[in-house]
Structure 1
């Protein structure tokens, strides 16, 4: 049985104004967004090194990472459901130590048990690529890449569970530090193993996969050390009685987390499916899609960090039963996320070639076709920045009030009925090819963002709020 420990509640008093809420939000969001950006830099290193191996290796890496990322996103959503649960426990201002520990423990269990089936799927990577009618040479290389990368999944998911727990407990800054460490590890790993520097073997694509595995394990071990020795967290004894089951809490996290996982999967799978559609057009289209998507995804990491922070802030208000605090926290987060994406949309629209030059030599004659395609896709990416920021923050604030089922339905409809349908119709029906596929992505994001923001604005009428606190 978990032993109670006297620990002060971390939620603090409700903010007195929107300015107070903004400052509280930014204290969480800035380190989380910084960590997300650093994580993108980790992924960018892989792209930068692999892109120099040639278009076949880049396409293989791209398709392999798409498959891996969809599953990783799903698992991150599942175990990340412990964040709103922990936030609500803290916001209720009751003695929450035991409850926090139970939530964390079951999230860690899920990071292993629920990930195993996905590892089996990744082991069949080449077969899946061939079923998707991809180039056989690319499929073979992607399969070899995934045979190594699959070992990164459990440590990566466990790191997510530990990261969101530390953030909910008020220590979001560690996410930035750990991800910065991961960036250094992955840079060194790629430099040593892809081209064989400092006496190491030149392993090419496989070397990049090995580097990713090493990086994931390093992140997991770093978070274990933080949760055990950080003075503000270790008092929770989060790894205490790690073998003890808490089935009711596991069911609670799964009930909340499965829709979140499906939302992440539906969105991630849409972009991955767009990559596979590009593969039906040509290898260069896949590479251009990967580069443009990588650049667009960098901007997305800031509102995604805001969404992660908003889930915690709104979750605390939800646990406290404070309706005004819930509304203030949600609207402040939406304003920050959408405002930031307005800035990035302007920059991406005005300087797409500069952004692309961070990844490849835009003046090299051999890259002319790839650059031309990527620049076209980036113009459209600039247009959907606002929609992307709105939908991710709106989903985050709804998670704070533990509303995940209907957002899942909205995501399924918006991304796959509207968005993917538009990709196919515009890309192949109207023969707009890659441009049509990217316009379809923008349409899907626009529909999802509009419906999620409407649901948030109607939260009281829809019965999404808890009974007001008597305090």
Structure 2
């Protein structure tokens, strides 16, 4: 396939996945935007709660991400049975993980207090999490089924199911946070209820699609029967992916905790800037998923040349997206941040000043953030997750978190210093992981 053919193939596969991730992200974004208009205290609390929930969710989502390369490789080899087996055991592992992790969400307040957060913001965050925790099981099951459909290159349905969920969340948020349409005004708890309802809608929609569009797959038939060989295969691939996701998201969660030490306004500004940076990251994540599927297909066919050309194309597409994002963050910080709170709010000038500096720092790590997630997607496609996990851990925890603390506090740079530390950790990860793919990842195709 020519480079032009690869561009078209990645676009057809990746753009719906980008849209799906953006729509999924819009669920949390809607919470932040509406609660920002509801009050700065509520925005600070949902920033803290969202970071906490997302950390635990992404760790469990490793099993869903593991399903994608397994199904893609099986599908390229015409092995429908293995694709079905991997997906079923991914569902099993997701449920088991959610049940095991539920106490950390239910009793989150003392944990947040031990992490140095204020009493008021910890109490509000815990109120959110005690409701939001019931959405963890459906959210993880949806992740597995979306990975299954994406690996079969049915990305359009992934997009539209997620758009439906995002719209449902926005409507529910508007009613339950502010008490519109005769509903009770629930504030931060209303946002949590809306998120749980949204996850349930998503799960029902994707299950109905699989049953109606792919009846020959018989995906849910005898779902209760264990398949221990595939169970442990998904487990061995998924745990390193989950730990890698944990190390990355904990880097950002640690930054939220450090921003909380600076006060409510810096934490709220961090929440806004992080939402904007996360939105642009969804573009790279969608391209990374496309890279996983394409690399998985090439891996199943043992086609090294096809994989190398495809990897080069998806990397360049990520770089182009990064360049556009950098321009937005540097040129339009005010209009972007005003989407999240009322400029008439007395706290607005301080939050705008802090947030503008944070977005400038975020612009610095756009290139490396995209590079590291693209590299992870390519490595997952060739089912290489163990060494990348170690590399990511060293980069995020060994470089990123210490650098954030040193630059933020001893060096006296405050919030900007914390974000520059994030850039350092992501930069090291990007270099290590890209080097891993181009040196060892391609060689796995020949084995």
TM-score between both structures, scaled by the size of structure 1: 0.93
The correspondence for 1:119, drawn from 98, 102, 123, is: 102
Q: For residues 190-269 of structure 1, what are the structure 2 equivalents within 5 Å?
A: 190-230=173-213, 233-269=214-250
Shift of residue 360, structure 1, vs aligned partner: 2.0
Shift of residue 234, structure 1, vs aligned partner: 2.5
Does structure 1 retain, via aligned residues, the 8 Å contact 2:382–2:441? no
List gaps (5 residues or longer) in structure 1: 1-15
Does structure 2 retain, via aligned residues, the 8 Å contact 1:303–1:338? no
Match for residue 74 of structure 1? 59
Q: Distance in 1 between matches of 2:441 and 2:208?
A: 42
Match for residue 19 of structure 1? 4
Does structure 1 retain, via aligned residues, the 8 Å contact 2:379–2:441? no
Shift of residue 275, structure 1, vs aligned partner: 0.3
The correspondence for 2:253, drawn from 272, 275, 283, is: 272
Match for residue 148 of structure 2? 165
Match for residue 45 of structure 2? 60
Q: Distance in 2 between matches of 1:327 and 1:26?
A: 17
Does structure 2 retain, via aligned residues, the 8 Å contact 1:356–1:362? no
The correspondence for 1:99, drawn from 69, 78, 82, is: 82
Q: Distance in 2 between matches of 1:465 and 1:170?
A: 21
Match for residue 3 of structure 1? none
1:123-175 Cα distance to aligned partner (Å, 9 max, x none):
11101111111111111111111110100000000000011101111211111
Does structure 2 retain, via aligned residues, the 8 Å contact 1:166–1:172? yes
Match for residue 126 of structure 2? 143
1:178-232 Cα distance to aligned partner (Å, 9 max, x none):
11111111111111111111111111111110000000000000010011111xx
1:348-395 Cα distance to aligned partner (Å, 9 max, x none):
112111211222234644311111111110011111111111111111
The correspondence for 1:108, drawn from 91, 111, 122, is: 91
Does structure 2 retain, via aligned residues, the 8 Å contact 1:380–1:439? yes
Does structure 2 retain, via aligned residues, the 8 Å contact 1:310–1:393? yes
Does structure 2 retain, via aligned residues, the 8 Å contact 1:423–1:440? yes
Q: Distance in 1 between matches of 2:307 and 2:204?
A: 35
The correspondence for 1:311, drawn from 292, 298, 302, is: 292
Shift of residue 460, structure 1, vs aligned partner: 6.1
Q: Distance in 1 between matches of 2:72 and 2:310?
A: 13
1:284-317 Cα distance to aligned partner (Å, 9 max, x none):
1110000001011111111110000110000010
Match for residue 456 of structure 1? 437
1:344 maps to 2:329:
no
Match for residue 10 of structure 1? none
Q: Distance in 2 between matches of 1:50 and 1:361?
A: 11
Does structure 2 retain, via aligned residues, the 8 Å contact 1:79–1:253? no
Shift of residue 62, structure 1, vs aligned partner: 1.1
Q: What RMSD over aligned residues (CA atoms) do the two structures have, in Å?
A: 1.3
Q: Distance in 2 between matches of 1:128 and 1:75?
A: 19
The correspondence for 1:181, drawn from 164, 168, 175, is: 164
Match for residue 421 of structure 1? 402
Shift of residue 332, structure 1, vs aligned partner: 1.5
Match for residue 27 of structure 2? 42
Aligned residues: 447
Q: Distance in 2 between matches of 1:350 and 1:366?
A: 22
Does structure 1 retain, via aligned residues, the 8 Å contact 2:265–2:347? no
Q: Distance in 2 between matches of 1:192 and 1:241?
A: 40
Match for residue 12 of structure 1? none
Does structure 2 retain, via aligned residues, the 8 Å contact 1:104–1:165? yes
List gaps (5 residues or longer) in structure 2: none
1:76-107 Cα distance to aligned partner (Å, 9 max, x none):
1222201101111122x24x111111111101
Q: Distance in 2 between matches of 1:36 and 1:376?
A: 26
TM-score between both structures, scaled by the size of structure 2: 0.98
Q: For residues 274-289 of structure 1, what are the structure 2 equivalents within 5 Å?
A: 274-289=255-270
Match for residue 68 of structure 2? 83
Match for residue 386 of structure 1? 367
Q: Distance in 1 between matches of 2:84 and 2:391?
A: 32
Does structure 1 retain, via aligned residues, the 8 Å contact 2:408–2:417? yes
